[in-house]
């Protein structure tokens, strides 16, 4: 694509120098890196805060992510206001100017042209990638302007020719950072509890986060998971009790895994039953401790071996759960698991942030 040239005034005096409108690929590389400088710490901070409640380390990571996001915003704001260059634009020898050829020192121009689109590019759950793609298409369509350039009456000029190797390297780095800024967030999804099957752990209308990608989940005993029900295809929330090869048996009062009872002790009586603490051993790490609830004795189920590639799941409310004890569900294929619940981030009845 031919580059249009124009005469601009150097920042170091009144000597006119020939500069050209920034190449689309140079602009795209700078735009990706500018967005990722905000998106990476922001995404990690959000995931640490919402996805791992109860962890002091996660709280520290979320605070650090917020701090780095603020620092990145300030650096971009100051750089564009003073020099017309963010860090990435400076590396790519690009400069932002108004249509009148002045530096965009006015806060209105800086906010409209720099901070708002950068934040839009850093939005989580794929929205940032969509905005970045649309912005990139507009750059190639117009040669040098995007919608916010037109709105803010700005343009990007090239102060020097960028070597091809540098351009390719910056595009790779920018693309990788943009992907990295979205990947942690895209692997987390939010769900709302519908029904009593996981009481007392989760109650109706609690909202929680689930980590994982379909087909890439490796659940452990005791994990709370979201999976697709083999009975009707609906998403259901259950706890993993048996892994492939485990032998699971249910008596009137206990659950046995590989012939051993899951330790259980009474905690309190509640309306509609009693609450017990139950423990289940894991292949590595400490036992998983959680609460269950029931009123009536369970209907005994003969010992069954969990088939390869399947898991055995139960609800924490043993009286009111449609789970693997239902012949229409039975052992569930692992590839039907959407992800592992990490913690709540909203509850209408209890503290908001609770690990699961």
| Catalytically active residues, by annotation | 197, 238
**What tokens were used for 231?**
């009975």
Q: Are the C-beta atoms of 24 and 31 separated by less than 8 Å?
A: no
Token pair of 285 as six digits: 């790490």
Structural contact between residues 328 and 231, judged by C-beta atoms closer than 8 angstroms: yes
Q: Note every long-range contact of 159-167, with CB atoms under 8 Å and residues 24 or more positions apart, other chains counting.
A: 159/19, 159/93, 159/94, 159/95, 160/93, 162/23, 162/26, 162/92, 162/93, 166/92, 167/23, 167/25, 167/26, 167/29, 167/92
Q: Judge whether 227 and 334 are in contact, CB under 8 Å.
A: no
Burial of 204 (0-12, 13-18, 19+ CB in 10 A): middle
Coil vs helix vs strand at 271: coil
Peptide bond preceding 200: is omega within 30 degrees of 0, i.e. cis? yes
> Which residue is it, tokens 């790519």?
92
CB 153 within 8 A of CB 98: yes
Q: How far apart, in whole angstroms, are the C-alpha atoms of residue 250 and residue 318?
A: 11
Angle between helices 24-51 and 56-83 in degrees, nearest 10: 150
Q: How far apart are CA 216 and CA 69, in angstroms?
A: 30
């Amino acid at each position: 694509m031919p580059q249009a040239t124009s005469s601009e005034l150097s920042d170091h005096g009144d000597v006119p120098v020939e500069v050209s409108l920034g190449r689309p690929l140079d602009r795209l590389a700078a735009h990706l890196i500018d967005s990722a400088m905000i998106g990476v710490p922001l995404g990690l901070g959000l995931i640490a805060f919402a996805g791992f409640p109860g962890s002091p380390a996660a709280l520290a990571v979320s605070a650090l992510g917020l701090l780095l996001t603020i620092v990145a915003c300030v650096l971009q704001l100051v750089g564009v206001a003073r020099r017309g260059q963010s860090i990435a634009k400076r590396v790519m020898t690009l400069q932002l100017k108004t249509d009148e050829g002045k530096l965009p020192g006015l806060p209105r121009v800086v906010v409209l042209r720099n901070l708002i689109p950068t934040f839009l590019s850093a939005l989580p759950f794929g929205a940032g990638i969509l905005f970045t793609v649309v912005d990139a298409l507009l750059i190639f369509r117009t040669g040098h302007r995007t919608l916010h350039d037109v709105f803010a009456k700005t343009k990007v000029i090239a102060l020097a020719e960028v070597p091809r190797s540098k351009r390719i390297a910056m595009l790779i780095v920018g693309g990788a950072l943009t992907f990295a800024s979205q990947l942690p967030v895209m692997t987390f999804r939010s769900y709302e509890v519908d029904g009593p099957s996981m009481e007392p752990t989760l109650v109706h209308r609690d909202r929680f986060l689930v980590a994982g990608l379909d087909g890439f989940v490796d659940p452990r005993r005791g994990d709370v998971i979201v999976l697709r029900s083999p009975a009707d295809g609906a998403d259901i929330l259950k706890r993993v009790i048996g892994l492939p090869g485990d032998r699971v048996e249910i008596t009137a009062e206990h659950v046995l895994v590989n012939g051993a009872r899951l330790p259980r002790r009474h905690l309190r009586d509640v309306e509609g039953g009693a609450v017990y603490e139950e423990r289940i051993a894991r292949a590595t790490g400490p036992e998983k401790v959680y609460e269950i609830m029931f009123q009536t004795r369970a209907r005994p189920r003969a010992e069954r071996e969990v088939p390869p590639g399947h898991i055995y799941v139960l609800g924490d409310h043993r009286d009111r759960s449609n789970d693997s004890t239902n012949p229409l569900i039975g052992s569930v294929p692992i590839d039907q698991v959407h992800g592992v619940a990490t913690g709540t981030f909203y509850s209408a009845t209890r503290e908001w942030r609770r690990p699961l």
